[in-house]
């Protein structure tokens, strides 16, 4: 009985310690990658803002089917019965989000910045909004390793396609 009581108290304090440490982690994480492309803003914006063109550069989109709503292509169908859809765009920004309810805390987008000499910087970012749960906070340490290489690959393909 004494050993069981010690185990329960130890588990409780260990959980409090881990939770306390995780509270020092930020609740908002942004992963961002950028590339300079020698192309016009319109041609880059055409590739990014039209999901039908994502097959040319977005990692894995060449095997995904298009998501259509009201006869208009809005995004691509992702595995797990969800869609990645364009939620809005301007002449310098394109925003996208997943359609699934469990991914409402994640969004992404692309910013276009004119740098001169016929170059355009394309920034691809992903924003994650985390709960206070320790497992979410500690898993945020791996977000860069999971999404960073895919974002770099996609931007590299976009640059190669447009130049």
Return all residues near 89 (Cβ < 8 A) that are at least 6 apart: 45, 49, 95
Please, what is the average pLDDT of the chain? 88
Q: What pLDDT score does 74 carry? A: 84
pLDDT (tens digit per residue) in 28-68 = 999 999 999 998 889 999 999 999 899 999 998 888 888 88
Mean pLDDT of 15-30: 91
pLDDT band at 102 (very low <50, low <70, confident <90, very high): low
Does a structural domain hold residue 43? yes
Instruction: Pull the structure tokens for residue 24.
Output: 């020092």
Q: What pLDDT score does 161 carry? A: 92
Instruction: Pull the structure tokens for residue 53.
Output: 């063109």
Does a structural domain hold residue 6? no
Domain residues for the domain of 84 are: 26-162
Does a structural domain hold residue 34? yes
Does a structural domain hold residue 97? yes
Does a structural domain hold residue 103? yes
Q: What are phi and psi of 79, to 5 degrees?
A: -60, 150
Structural domain count of the chain = 1
Q: Which of 75-84, 107-116, 126-135 has the lowest mean pLDDT?
A: 75-84
Does a structural domain hold residue 62? yes
* Residues above pLDDT 90, as percent of the chain: 48
Predicted TM-score (pTM) of this structure: 0.83
Supply the CATH number for residue 79's domain.
3.30.530.20
Q: What pLDDT score does 33 carry? A: 96
């Amino acid at each position: 009985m004494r050993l069981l009581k010690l185990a329960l108290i130890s588990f409780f304090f260990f959980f409090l310690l881990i939770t306390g440490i995780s509270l020092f982690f930020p609740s908002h994480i942004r992963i961002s990658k950028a590339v300079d492309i020698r192309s016009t803003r319109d041609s880059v914006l055409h590739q990014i803002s039209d999901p039908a063109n994502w097959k040319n550069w977005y990692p894995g989109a060449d095997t995904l089917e298009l998501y259509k709503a009201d006869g208009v292509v809005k995004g691509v169908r992702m595995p797990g019965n969800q869609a990645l859809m364009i939620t809005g765009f301007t002449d310098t920004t394109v925003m996208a989000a997943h359609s699934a309810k469990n991914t409402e805390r994640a969004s992404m987008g692309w910013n276009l910045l004119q740098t001169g000499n016929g170059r355009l910087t394309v920034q691809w970012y992903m924003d994650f909004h985390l709960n206070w749960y320790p497992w979410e906070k500690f898993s945020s340490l791996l977000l860069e390793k999971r999404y960073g290489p895919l974002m770099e690959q996609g931007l590299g393909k976009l640059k190669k396609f447009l130049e």
